[in-house]
Amino acid sequence: MDKRRIIWTLLALTASAVAISGVADHAADSYAKDALKRALVTFAAARTLNGVISVVQSTEVGVGVTVSVGQILDPINDLVEQFSSVMLVAASSLGLQNVLLTITASRAFTIAMVVASILVIVILWTPRLNKNNIAAAASRVLLMMLIIRFIIPVLIIGTNLVSDTFLAPQQAEATAALEVTGKAIKEANVEVQAPPTDDQSIMDRLNSVIDESLASVNISDRLANLQENASKAAEHIVDLIVLFVLQTIILPLAFLWLLVQIFKGITARWTQF
């Protein structure tokens, strides 16, 4: 009995101090904003790549080269569009975490939890009030307030610690690869759309034909490189889909389940006075 009273008193005092100081809230807010920024950067890279591909969908490449850039990029374009939808959901999930953190870290929730902590301490250390039913009910109320007040910060901090340790480097690499691919596609499109000059002499036209013949070989090489970059981009997009699904859906649900199990264990063991 005395041991449990001491533990609950320390828990109430510690939780109140952490809630009032806002240290957990500030850490969670920083993690949440960084995660949202990374998601928005990746989303912007995907939308930029999608826009560049859409521009060159019907571009015909070079003299005598009938392969359309659009035909090469059409599969990756479809994948980018699907990935953009996934990123929109991921960014919305991270934005929702920010909103929930703002609500649970509000002054109203903090005051309610501090009041519950004070009531529990008073009940536990007042002989007239310290009866089994009253003490158990008070401890359950305090535990519920702790869950409401701290589950979002703990969820955000835990999820982002795992994400920053294991997922962030791969996310940055894959996002950079998307940006490089977008630039390569844009450069190829600029080159193949160079307009011919109308006012040319016979010699200029002959030189132009020779230059175009040589350029067609170069363009073919660029198309091969472009196709290779597109294939690599597809791999990176799939990786990013997996990473963001892990970060914004699977990891939060896993941490939520773990926290619920921990609180259930505490409730079953430590609220019986």
Give the start-to-end residue ranges of the domains of the chain. 25-104+152-264
Going by pLDDT thresholds of 50, 70 and 90, the confidence category of residue 194 is very low
List C-alpha distances in Å: 71 to 155, 161, 225.
44, 42, 15
Please give the residue that has the higher pLDDT: either 128 or 60: 128
Going by pLDDT thresholds of 50, 70 and 90, the confidence category of residue 213 is very low
Going by pLDDT thresholds of 50, 70 and 90, the confidence category of residue 187 is confident
**pLDDT > 70: what percent of the chain?**
79
Going by pLDDT thresholds of 50, 70 and 90, the confidence category of residue 71 is confident
Question: For 114-158, what is each residue's pLDDT tens digit?
Answer: 999 999 999 988 888 777 678 888 888 898 899 999 999 999 999
pLDDT at 197 over 80: no
Can you list the alpha helix ranges (DSSP code H) found in the chain? 2-21, 23-55, 69-104, 107-125, 132-162, 168-192, 202-245, 251-270
CA torsion 8→9→11→12, rounded to 10°?
110
Residue 75's contacts (CB-CB under 8 Å, 6 or more residues apart) are 230, 234
Q: Which residues pair with 68 in a beta bridge?
A: 60
27 touches 78 (CB < 8 A): no
pLDDT at 29 over 90: yes
Q: What value does the mean pLDDT take over residues 189-199?
A: 50
Predicted pLDDT at 65:
46
Q: Which residues pair with 60 in a beta bridge?
A: 68
Phi and psi at 68, nearest 5°, equal: -85, 135
Q: What is the SS3 assignment for 156?
A: helix
Q: Mean pLDDT score of the chain, rounded to an integer?
A: 81
The beta-carbon contacts of 122-128 under 8 Å, at least 24 apart in sequence, are 124/5, 124/8, 124/9, 125/5, 125/9
Please give the residue that has the higher pLDDT: either 35 or 204: 35
Going by pLDDT thresholds of 50, 70 and 90, the confidence category of residue 179 is confident
pLDDT at 250 over 50: yes
pLDDT at 91 over 60: yes
